[in-house]
Amino acid sequence: MSTLVTYEKDENVAIITLDDGKANAVSHQVIDELNAALDKAEEEKATVLLTGREGKFSAGFDLSVMKDGGPAAVGKLVGAGARLSQRLLTFPAPVIIACNGHSLAMGALMLLSVDYRIGVSGKYKVGLNEVAIGMTMPYFGVELARGRLTPSYFGRSVNNAEIFSPDDAVSAGFLDKVVPEDQLLSAALAGAKMMSQLDLKAHHGTKLRVRDQLLVLVDEAIKKEF
């Protein structure tokens, strides 16, 4: 089985790269490998820079499971994704996403689960397309979107499956900043190194306070559905 997630260090930044050579679908293998990489970063007390492949951060959950796996298989995969988001929301060190291009469905929910998001300019799509592809938004996704998106974009994103350009994704709350493609990794790495200078104990404690209500709602949503 090929490795879909790689791990490397640059000073005190753990660079975790997702690359399946295609759409960077979120499968059980990807989730397991991401969790293993996060385990290593946590052991090393490293700031995390999570990124994808050129043009694609992630197209969301593995459609071979979502379309053909049956309710039990779908529930198992979505539940694993929900717990990954929960882990990212509470990770003890800063987590930055360098969003290489398209980021849809679970890819966009990962954007809503981290501390800072840099995207790239271009004709890329960012958003929650679940309703458009026949999937009722899971409860944890509703709460993530409610808690992290700009309020006026919440219904447009979740109910209407509106998809945004990278610049509009900043206004919506999926991204914090957009840079030219050739500057993405350098900008993200510079930001990650800056955040690695934070006091980790203070960062983590403050993160938990800032997100306390959201974390309760996400936890309740996971227990309700999975």
Q: Which domains does the chain have, with CATH numbers?
A: 5-182+190-225 (3.90.226.10)
Question: What pLDDT is attached to residue 1?
Answer: 62
* Rounded Cα–Cα distance for residues 29 and 48 (Å): 20
Evaluate if residue 4 carries a pLDDT over 90.
yes
pLDDT, tens digit, for every residue of 78-129?
A: 999 999 999 999 999 999 999 999 999 999 999 999 999 999 999 999 999 9
Q: Please write the tens of the pLDDT for every residue from 6-29.
A: 999 999 999 999 999 999 999 999
* pLDDT higher at 90 or 72: 90
Q: 139-168 pLDDT, tens per residue?
A: 999 999 999 999 999 999 999 999 999 999
Output the pTM of the full model.
0.96
Confirm if 93 and 204 have CB atoms less than 8 A apart.
yes
Checking if the pLDDT of 43 tops 70, the result is yes
